[in-house]
Each structure stands twice: as structure tokens, then as C-alpha cells.
């Protein structure tokens, strides 16, 4: 049995994500969790909020509440988590679909952004792809359009945080029907299988769940 490190940009444990990853990875995996915000007070986390020029990341605290962070405030702490885990695990999974610079580790690192964009890139359709992207915060729209514009001919972005409960996500997700998209990506590790299932039953197109893609890739490293 192999141990996989699971690093959240929020606080561990991620009881909302890791159990599903364990399911997809199978019985051969044990996940050891660590969070970039572990040990920080609410006031310390508040100071890590984004300024106008910062990239925006949204994550979950241990008590289930969500926080919005500046990417540059989180990245060094993610690298610190890698250093603490890399000698004790066979691979590391980053529990965030945001954009990160190259991260240094002695073991393979699964970067959800790369897995997700290349998964969608590999989907063939009979016309230029019109892609729907659900993201937690509207402040992420410019970065999302830039990222997904390299994969799809057209990108339609909608925002609803998975950490505010399923209703807002489902209500906003249903609007992709009006947008006539060919494919929807739930672009945050916080979106759940239940959310994907409901939307897939109500939309006339496939719905891709980030944590499912990551979980299946993690199984290939075992």
C-alpha cells in the first residue's frame, strides 16, 4: 500500500475531497494530508487576501468556511508542505486547480490544472469547442478565460462557490443550458460528485469534475 501526499491550499483535513479521491484511487492508496494554512489564525489568513493585481484562489478552512486568497501568498507555503511530505510519500496531489509556477519535489506531483486542461484538450467535437467553466469567484474570470482560451474556441464563465452550498452551484450551473456550451468543467476541487450528477442530468452536454479527473490519475501512480 502506497502513501500519497494531499496538499490543500486551505486547511487540512479536507473531509469534503479526500474520501472521494480515496474511492477513485482504490484500496491501494493511503492519503496523508497537509494544508498551506494549517496552524494559522483567522487574522493571519485574512491578511493573505488578494489585492487588485493578485491572482485569486478560493479554498476551504477546517471549519468548512471558505476564504479567498492571493496566489502569491499561498505558493511559498505550498512549497513548504511539499518539503515536509516528499520523503514520506510516493507521490503528491495538489488539491487546487489554480495556476502554479513549477513546484520542486523529489516525487511526482499531480497538478490539477495540467490534468484538467489536457483532459479537455483531448475531447474531440465536430465543431470548434464552446466550453462552459464554473469557477468559485467572479474575480477569477480573466484568468479562466485566458487559460481555457488556449483549449476552446469560446469560453463561457460562471461563478458559484462550492463552499457556499450546492444550491448556488446548481442554480448557476443550469444556466449553461442557455449558453449552448458543448462541455462544462467544474473548475475547483471543491465541487462534488453530487453537483456534477445533478447538472449532468439537467444539461444536454458532458460535465467534467476536477476531483474525478485527479482521482483517476492518482490511481495510475500506485
Could you read off the pLDDT of 9-53 as tens digits, one per residue?
Answer: 999 999 999 999 888 877 677 899 999 999 999 999 999 999 988
Query: Per-residue pLDDT for the chain (222 aa), expressed as one digit of tens each?
Result: 689 999 999 999 999 999 998 888 776 778 999 999 999 999 999 999 999 888 999 999 999 999 999 999 999 999 999 999 999 999 999 999 999 999 999 999 999 999 999 999 998 777 899 999 999 999 999 999 999 999 999 999 999 999 999 999 999 999 999 999 999 999 999 999 999 999 999 999 999 999 999 998 888 876
Q: How far is CA 41 from CA 7, 37, 49, 69, in A?
A: 19, 9, 13, 14
Q: Is the pTM of this model over 0.85?
A: yes
CATH 3.40.50 at 2-111+213-220, yes or no = yes
The answer to whether 89 and 8 have CB atoms below 8 angstroms apart is: no
For residues 218 and 13, give the distance between their C-alpha atoms in angstroms, rounded to a whole number: 18
The domain limits of the chain are 2-111+213-220, 115-209
Q: Do the domains spanning 2-111+213-220 and 115-209 agree at the CATH topology level? A: yes
Of 15, 31, 11, nearest to 215 by C-alpha is 31
CATH 3.40.640.10 at 115-209, yes or no = no
Instruction: List alpha helices for 87-165, DSSP H.
Output: 112-121, 141-148
Amino acid at each position: 500500500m502506497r502513501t500519497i501526499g494531499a496538499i490543500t491550499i486551505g486547511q487540512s483535513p479536507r473531509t469534503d475531497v479526500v474520501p472521494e479521491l480515496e474511492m477513485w484511487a482504490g484500496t491501494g492508496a493511503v492519503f496523508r494530508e497537509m494544508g498551506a494554512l494549517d496552524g494559522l489564525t483567522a487574522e493571519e489568513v485574512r491578511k493573505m487576501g488578494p489585492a487588485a493585481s493578485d491572482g485569486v484562489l478560493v479554498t476551504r478552512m477546517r471549519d468548512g468556511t471558505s476564504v479567498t486568497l492571493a496566489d502569491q501568498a499561498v505558493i511559498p507555503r505550498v512549497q513548504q508542505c511539499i518539503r515536509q511530505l516528499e520523503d514520506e510519500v510516493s507521490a503528491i496531489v495538489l488539491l487546487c486547480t489554480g495556476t502554479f509556477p513549477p513546484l520542486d519535489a523529489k516525487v511526482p506531483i499531480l497538478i490539477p490544472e495540467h490534468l484538467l486542461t489536457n483532459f479537455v484538450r483531448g475531447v474531440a467535437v465536430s465543431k470548434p469547442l464552446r466550453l462552459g467553466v464554473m469557477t468559485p469567484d467572479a474575480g477569477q474570470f480573466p484568468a479562466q478565460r485566458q487559460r481555457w482560451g488556449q483549449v476552446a474556441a469560446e469560453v463561457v464563465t460562471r461563478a458559484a462557490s462550492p463552499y457556499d452550498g450546492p444550491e448556488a452551484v446548481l442554480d448557476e450551473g443550469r444556466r449553461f443550458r442557455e449558453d449552448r456550451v458543448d462541455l462544462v468543467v467544474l473548475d475547483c476541487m471543491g465541487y462534488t460528485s453530487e453537483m456534477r450528477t445533478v447538472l449532468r442530468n439537467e444539461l444536454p452536454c458532458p460535465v467534467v469534475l476536477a476531483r474525478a479527473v485527479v482521482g483517476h490519475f492518482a490511481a495510475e501512480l500506485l
